[in-house]
Amino acid sequence: MHDTSLNGELIDLRAGDYEARIATSGATLVHLRRLGHDLVIPFDADAALPGAWQGKTLVPWPNRIADARYTYRGVDYLVPCNEPETGAALHGLIGWTNFAVAPAPNAATEQPSAVTLTLDLPASYAYPWSLHISVCFTLDAATGLTVTTTSTCTGAALSPAAGVVGAPEENGVPAPAPYGVSCHPYLTRSVPLDECTLQVPAGRVLDVDAHMAPAGEREVAGTDWDWRTGRLVGITATDNAYTGLPSGTWQVRLTGGEGGHSVVMEAAAPWVQVYSGEHLARRGVAVEPMTCPPNAFNTGQDLLTLAAGQSHSFTWSLWEED
């Protein structure tokens, strides 16, 4: 464990053949390796910022809010636009916020296998609800990396007479917080993505317009977006949300490179964003299990809500399969 001025504190984990590095800025997965081989595209957290949201935890929304504004229960909110080319608000509010390291019961261990990061997100004009967020990273010698993000709504700000925007009121009680969660690892086999086989068990894909806003769902059958049986990626490009996933847990596999091994992502969520990593020279593929699709803060589709005191937990796992 050591400090860096760029990405917060860095925590190294080890279990069996697996090793991982976690950065407190954005509760970020910096690298994950097995026997020295990368399972996700790494970055040098001592000297550089991650590219294209590598490894970030995404709360309280994944993906984009179109036009950096949303209407929730009759109240309009403006959120910071951090993707000027689309005019959208991308990937929530915590990607560059520094988490605290929760005290570990085995703090004397030189190479821990788990760490929990916590953050209290205060209410703001963009999102007038406060959240307590906990992200637990656990390495296991047999099952690889498991990450659980738990968010609890700790309150809501009301609108004062001065007209500052707050949470909508319903029968004198603040409305629950709109909420979504995801993560942003880039799976890799340390060879170009074009040479890998990708399997995604999704039956439907969400098309997007020129601003990456949702433009309608369709079946993947007979299209370049059908990855259900696994196929060579080749030159195919995608930056789409997929749904029609199996109920319960499902798995995405990226296979290739030396030995033909696979890196496996497992989650239980109704959506997954799959991005072929053009901003990272197609060295891997972003696989982002999501509790809701893009622009859910406006459409309400699969949007979660958290009343004061209510919590939600979201778990995903990564491992290498021989």
Domains in the chain: ranges and CATH: 2-321 (2.70.98.10)
The confidence score (pLDDT) of residue 311 equals 98
Reported as a pLDDT band with limits 50, 70 and 90, residue 174 is very high
Judge whether residue 137 has pLDDT over 70.
yes
Reported as a pLDDT band with limits 50, 70 and 90, residue 117 is very high
Contact between 197 and 232 under an 8 Å Cβ cutoff? The reply is yes
Reported as a pLDDT band with limits 50, 70 and 90, residue 1 is low
Cα–Cα distance, 57 to 153 (Å, whole number): 17
The confidence score (pLDDT) of residue 106 equals 61
Residue type at position 265: M
Contact between 226 and 100 under an 8 Å Cβ cutoff? The reply is no
Distances (CA, A) of 216 to 87, 223, 292, 298: 19, 15, 15, 15
Q: Which residue has the tokens 């021989």?
A: 322
Q: What share of residues in the chain are helix, strand, coil (percent, to 5)?
A: 5, 45, 50
Considering the entire predicted model, what is its pTM?
0.96
The confidence score (pLDDT) of residue 213 equals 87
Contact between 12 and 1 under an 8 Å Cβ cutoff? The reply is yes
Angle (nearest 5°) at CA 190 between 186 and 195 = 95
- Kindly report the average pLDDT of the chain as a whole number: 95
**How many Cβ atoms sit within 10 Å of the Cβ of residue 161?**
5
Judge whether residue 6 has pLDDT over 80.
yes
Percent of the chain predicted with pLDDT > 70: 96
DSSP letter assigned to residue 309: T
Q: Is 212 left (phi over 0), alpha (psi -120 to 50) or beta?
A: left
Reported as a pLDDT band with limits 50, 70 and 90, residue 163 is confident
